[in-house]
Amino acid sequence: MGILLLILLPAGLIAQDASEIIERVDQVMRGESSYAEMTMTIERPRYTRKVSMRAWSLGDDYSLIKITEPARDEGTAYLKRENEIWNYVPNIDRTIKMPPSMMSQSWMGSDFTNDDLVRESSITEDYEHSILREDTLRGRESWVLELIPKPEAAVVYGKVLLWVDKEEYIQLRVKNYDQQGEPASTIELTDIREMGGRTLPAKMTLTPADKPDHKTVLEYREIEFNISPEQSFFSLQNMRRKL
Check whether 8 has a pLDDT greater than 60.
Answer: no
CA dihedral 70, 98, 116, 49 (to 10 degrees): -20
Q: How many CB atoms lie within 10 A of CB 226?
A: 11
Alpha carbon of residue 178 to chain centroid = 16
Q: Is residue 77 a contact partner of residue 88, using CB atoms and an 8 Å limit?
A: yes
Using pLDDT thresholds of 50, 70 and 90, give the confidence band for residue 16.
Answer: low
Q: 16-30, 61-75, 153-167, 193-207: which has the minimum mean pLDDT? A: 16-30
* pLDDT on residue 37: 97
Q: Is residue 29 a contact partner of residue 172, using CB atoms and an 8 Å limit?
A: no
Complete domains list, the chain, with CATH: 16-240 (2.50.20.10)
pTM of the predicted model, to two decimals?
0.85
Mean pLDDT score of the chain = 88
Can you give the chain as a three-state secondary structure string? Answer: CHHHHHHHCCHHHHCCCHHHHHHHHHHHHCCCEEEEEEEEEEECCCCEEEEEEEEEEECCCEEEEEEEECHHHCCCEEEEECCEEEEEECCCCEEEECCHHHCCCECCCCCCEHHHHHCCCCCCCCEEEEEEEEEEECCEEEEEEEEEECCCCCCCCCEEEEEEECCCCCEEEEEEECCCCCEEEEEEEEEEEEECCEEEEEEEEEEECCCCCCEEEEEEEEEEECCCCCHHHCCHHHHHCCC
Using pLDDT thresholds of 50, 70 and 90, give the confidence band for residue 235.
Answer: very high
* pLDDT on residue 120: 53
Higher pLDDT, residue 166 or 120: 166
* pLDDT on residue 119: 64
Higher pLDDT, residue 126 or 219: 219
Summarize pLDDT for 19-74 with one digit per residue, the tens: 999 999 988 887 788 999 999 999 999 999 999 999 999 988 899 999 999 999 99
